[in-house]
Amino acid sequence: MNAAASGGGGRLACPVCEQAETEPFAQIGAREYWRCAVCEARFLDPAARLDAQSEYAHYLSHENEVSDPGYRRFLSKLADPMLAVLPAGSEGLDYGCGPGPALAVMMAERGHSVAYYDPFFAPDTGALLRQYDFVLCSEVIEHFRDPTTEFRRLWGLVRPGGWLGVMTCFQTDDARFATWHYVKDPTHVVFYREATLRWLARAAGWSCHIPCKDVALMQKPTPT
């Protein structure tokens, strides 16, 4: 079941946990948002999503240069805590790298080998046919139209004992949702709370660590 499918009483199924324990949450112009009582995600009604061409055009407007010191500081919120738990010479994947894989470059500068994948800008699925010591998703998961499928893929890309690191702006204040900068980006379709990410990790049997605001590190268990 996905978010386009209705549960009882005309509710939309949550795209994160697939449960129909949802309710209308906010109306912002023509866009309707829903709230899930199970995993606490907020999400845009699928009927209001951009088409693929418009989504791609919006991404082309982003200016994310690896040489930009400010952008590197921003990415270090995810890179630094991941670097702190990785052994030397680890192998990783920058999932959703965008037009410039800056995070992959930063990790490579610290001695790790990093592949990258992006459905628009680096669509070679060969990078998805193996496992890694770590996978990084920086400002990616809020774009997932089918988080259940995407996270299932991410779980499978990580070796036992390895790490999935995500960075997304945690949704915290319902009262200010309509004016939140994250909602103003038309390509953002799912909004995660810290509790949402903990729910995802727990459902997969992983541990979840929150080293700082807007960052979650999830570790895959090793076989016993």
Is 3 contained in some domain? Answer: no
**For residue 127, what pLDDT band results from cuts at 50, 70 and 90?**
very high
Q: Average pLDDT for residues 140-151, to the nearest whole number?
A: 98
The DSSP secondary-structure symbol of 196 reads H
**For residue 61, what pLDDT band results from cuts at 50, 70 and 90?**
confident
To the nearest 10 degrees (0 to 180), the angle between helices 102-109 and 69-85 is: 50
Is 2 contained in some domain? Answer: no
Q: Average pLDDT for residues 198-205, to the nearest whole number?
A: 98
Domain total for the chain? 1
pLDDT in tens, 22-46: 999 999 999 999 999 999 999 999 9
**For residue 65, what pLDDT band results from cuts at 50, 70 and 90?**
confident
Q: Average pLDDT for residues 172-186, to the nearest whole number?
A: 97
Domain interval for residue 189: 8-219
In the prediction, which pLDDT does 9 show? 54
Is 1 contained in some domain? Answer: no
pLDDT in tens, 157-174: 999 999 999 999 999 999
Give, in order, the Cα–Cα distances in Å from 86 to each of 80, 176, 194: 10, 37, 23
Is 215 contained in some domain? Answer: yes
Q: Residue 81: pLDDT above 80?
A: yes
Here the CATH number for the domain that contains residue 189 is 3.40.50.150
**For residue 8, what pLDDT band results from cuts at 50, 70 and 90?**
very low
Q: Nearest Cα to 131, choosing from 167, 164, 101, 98?
A: 164
Is 45 contained in some domain? Answer: yes
Tokens of 192: 């995660």
Is 214 contained in some domain? Answer: yes
The H-or-E segment that residue 116 falls in is strand 113-117
**For residue 4, what pLDDT band results from cuts at 50, 70 and 90?**
very low
Task: Quote the mean pLDDT of the chain.
Answer: 94
